[in-house]
Amino acid sequence: MDGLNLRKVFSLLFIIGIAVVFTLQFGPGSNGFSYGEAVPTAGAAAVVNGKEIPLRDFSLAWSRQMSFLRSQGSPIPESVARQFGMDKQVLDRLVNAELLAQSAERHGISPSDEELRKLIHQNTDFHNKEGQFDFTRYQQVLRDFYRRTTQEYEDELRRQMAAQKMLDVVRTGAVVSDDEVRARYEKDGNQAKLVFARFLPTMFADKVPAPTPAQLAEFQKAHEKEISDYYAANSFVYNVPERIHARQILVKVAPDATPEQKAQAKAKAEELRKELDSGKDFAAVAKASSEDDATKLKGGDLGWVERNAWEPTLANAAFALKAGEVTQPVESPLGVHLVKVEEKKEAQARKLDEVKGEIATTLYKQDQAKGLAKAEADKALAAVKGGKSLKELFPVAEGQQPALLRFEAETKPEAVETDSFTAAGDSVPHLGPAPGLVKATFEATGPKALDEVFTVGEAHVVAQVVDREKPDTAGFDKRKEELRTQARQAKQIELTESFLKSLRKSGTVVTNTEAIDSVLGAAG
């Protein structure tokens, strides 16, 4: 994952996980479902109470999930997305939709013809150039892109609408009393805002001189286990697999494409290969003709890629090339690829004995840097207790946010202001879990410098309370309706989760891992 910001990936995947839970289309799916042992037919991703979820529906939902990730600027490999369990989230969503549709059928809940007509007419896929619903275009789009007859599409849409209606029925039970609203205010109305500065060992590493040979030998002898553990934890640094810097041109093929459509895609890729053979620049052809939206504008640039990040057939073809060479058309579940290898890096394998001195030097400097970080934090604490503000001591460049908020490596302490937060949890915004700091914050009755250095992870933290709000009658009257809405939404989510749990518990869900692996490749 060269060049990929891991913090951004984690945040993005978390956001997507939340979106799956609270989606209004099919309802939440945060808790998964029980998996049976029997295997459905080859064309099914799962069977819900005897009804199959077609593999093509799973494949389409997965493609949309990946497209969403790419649209957010993070071209995450599918293998990494699977490591985060995103394939199970996608399948959960489809299963929950089916469970809700079946429940709606049992309860006699069904959308009217007029509701169905209105929803179809609102879909811009079926609009003409004037923005009006066009029945001829409706039929054409269903045939050429949705791969459905009008009857199949409308039946599926009815089931989706019925599922949503079932969800709406469940959520109508979310009634909130005045006492619940008051209790929410008592919890949420006790708020504080901090300014803090972090002192990390990495900020002071360059101030630590290299150890003398005697110091290094003494440190290495006293820290053999730490050195060995460091090597094991960072083996990916010392054992790097073969990599290529690659570009690609993709001709997409739908998961349910006919043999004729697959042949047409391959023929198009072969024509593009001829253009390259005639001397055209690969990046220019990619910009003009590639159907991979994530890389097209970058001339097909995929960055550095490891073999296991790709489907085996594609990986074998690309990694067999020398720098500067281009594959013949290669088929994968996504379509037909042409791949150019810009550079290659051979695999590296360095044993522990080869790098002991290097690791010992790193750990020695880290140990010394921790001491410097603590000393600087103590100095800052003395200054703020003497009347200085953290914003004055550790200013951020005008017009910029602190590096911590830009998801960038911090090279120096900077004053970071939090949003308001409550005492309900143990976390501080932008810092994460810090129970000692939270406790000290809410013991303060007003703005003040907190009188100790807090350890949060690797960081030493100095903090000032800059705003302190306690619940009162005036504040409650001002926020009462807002809190009532929040409480009702929370109860709706709770009721939905409970209802889906009961459906999963009373029903039978069987998944087809082999079929899913055939679409996505086996999980790593």
| The pLDDT value given to residue 289 | 95
| The pLDDT value given to residue 68 | 85
d(CA 365, CA 359): 10
d(CA 91, CA 398): 47
Determine phi and psi for 104, rounding to 5 degrees. -60, -40
Amino acid identity of 9?
V
| The pLDDT value given to residue 74 | 66
User: Residue 210 burial (CB < 10 Å; 0-12/13-18/19+)?
Assistant: exposed
Nearest CA among 310, 306, 316, 319 for reference residue 240: 306
3-state secondary structure 386-442: CCCCHHHHCCCCCCCCCHHHHCCCCCCCCCEECCCEECCCCEECCCEECHHHHHHHH
Query: CA distances (Å), 311 to each of 9, 112, 169, 308, in order?
Result: 21, 45, 44, 7
Question: What DSSP string runs through 120-186?
Answer: HHH-GGGB-TTS-B-HHHHHHHIIIII---HHHHHHHHHHHHHHHHHHHHHHTT----HHHHHHHHH
Nearest CA among 8, 427, 415 for reference residue 199: 415
d(CA 62, CA 456): 38
Nearest CA among 436, 405, 441 for reference residue 422: 441
Render each residue's pLDDT in the chain as its tens digit; 524 residues: 433 343 444 344 433 443 333 333 333 333 333 344 445 677 889 999 999 998 988 988 898 888 888 887 766 788 888 888 889 999 999 999 999 999 999 999 999 999 999 999 999 999 999 999 999 999 999 998 888 899 999 998 999 999 999 999 998 888 888 888 777 776 776 889 999 999 999 999 889 888 999 999 999 999 999 999 998 888 878 888 899 999 999 999 998 899 999 999 999 999 999 999 999 999 999 999 999 988 999 999 999 999 988 999 999 999 999 999 999 999 999 999 999 999 999 888 888 888 899 899 989 998 999 999 999 999 999 999 999 999 999 999 888 899 999 888 899 999 999 999 988 789 999 999 999 999 999 999 899 999 999 999 999 999 999 999 877 666 677 777 887 888 888 888 989 999 999 999 998 999 888 888 887 875 55
Do 456 and 416 touch, CB atoms closer than 8 A? no
User: Residue 321 burial (CB < 10 Å; 0-12/13-18/19+)?
Assistant: middle
| The pLDDT value given to residue 20 | 38
The tokens 């041109």 sit on which residue?
Answer: 249
The token pair that represents 423 in the structure block = 């005492």
3-state secondary structure 31-76: CCCCCCCCCCCCCEEEEECCEEEEHHHHHHHHHHHHHHHHHCCCCC
d(CA 26, CA 246): 38
Q: Give every CB contact of residue 234 below 8 A, 6+ residues apart in sequence.
A: none
Nearest CA among 297, 307, 350 for reference residue 521: 307
Nearest CA among 11, 15, 51, 46 for reference residue 32: 46
| The pLDDT value given to residue 15 | 38
Do 66 and 81 touch, CB atoms closer than 8 A? yes
Q: pTM higher than 0.85 for the full model?
A: no
**Domain 242-346: assigned CATH number:** 3.10.50.40
Nearest CA among 136, 133, 110 for reference residue 122: 133
d(CA 100, CA 102): 5
CATH T-level fold of 6-173+497-520: Triger factor/SurA peptide-binding fold (1.10.4030)
Amino acid identity of 209?
P
Nearest CA among 405, 381, 391 for reference residue 460: 381
Instruction: Show me where the domains of the chain are located.
Output: 6-173+497-520, 191-234+352-469, 242-346
CA 89 vs. chain centroid, Å, equals 12
- How many other CB atoms are found less than 10 A from the CB of residue 139? 13
Determine phi and psi for 119, rounding to 5 degrees. -65, -40
Do 423 and 190 touch, CB atoms closer than 8 A? yes
